[in-house]
Amino acid sequence: MGDIINVQNVSLVLFFVGLYGVLSNRNIIKSIIAVNIMDVAAILFLITVNRRPDQIPPIGSQNVAAMADPLPQALMITAIVIGISVTAVSITLFIGLFRRYGTSDWQKIVYRVDRG
């Protein structure tokens, strides 16, 4: 049980590291990486939130009562695919912004957009 609590603590720390990265960085690439860190932390937390050490993988027809719930695992696989898609779209948008404005700094891009 102690290992699960430690993993949950690590996932919370990772989430807040990612949140700090999003709030403190002016670089778009670093912001995209920070959002990915937050995504992985949320997935890690949700996979471990209801796990017990005596559970077995939900494969086969052995002891059904001791099997882990497969729903969180299936949802997290979906979340991983969605995270990859969001990252791909974010990088594509960044490439377009970089080609148009020539910088990866959020503040400079906003200033150039406002300036017209």
DSSP line for 10-63: HHHHHHHHHHHHHHH--BHHHHHHHHHHHHHHHHHHHHHTT--TT-B-S-SSS-
Q: Is residue 45 part of a domain?
A: yes
Query: What pLDDT, on a 0 to 100 scale, did the predictor assign at position 58?
Result: 75
Query: What pLDDT, on a 0 to 100 scale, did the predictor assign at position 85?
Result: 97
Query: What pLDDT, on a 0 to 100 scale, did the predictor assign at position 56?
Result: 77
Query: What pLDDT, on a 0 to 100 scale, did the predictor assign at position 13?
Result: 95
Query: What pLDDT, on a 0 to 100 scale, did the predictor assign at position 49?
Result: 80
For residue 46, give its domain range.
Answer: 2-53+67-115
Domain count, the chain: 1
Q: Is residue 99 part of a domain?
A: yes
Q: Is residue 62 part of a domain?
A: no
Q: Is residue 20 part of a domain?
A: yes
Sites in the chain below the pLDDT cut of 70: 1-5, 61
Query: What pLDDT, on a 0 to 100 scale, did the predictor assign at position 32?
Result: 96
**Residue pointed to by tokens 């969180």:** 72
Query: What pLDDT, on a 0 to 100 scale, did the predictor assign at position 1?
Result: 54
pLDDT in tens, 78-110: 999 999 999 999 999 999 999 999 999 999 999
Query: What pLDDT, on a 0 to 100 scale, did the predictor assign at position 61?
Result: 66
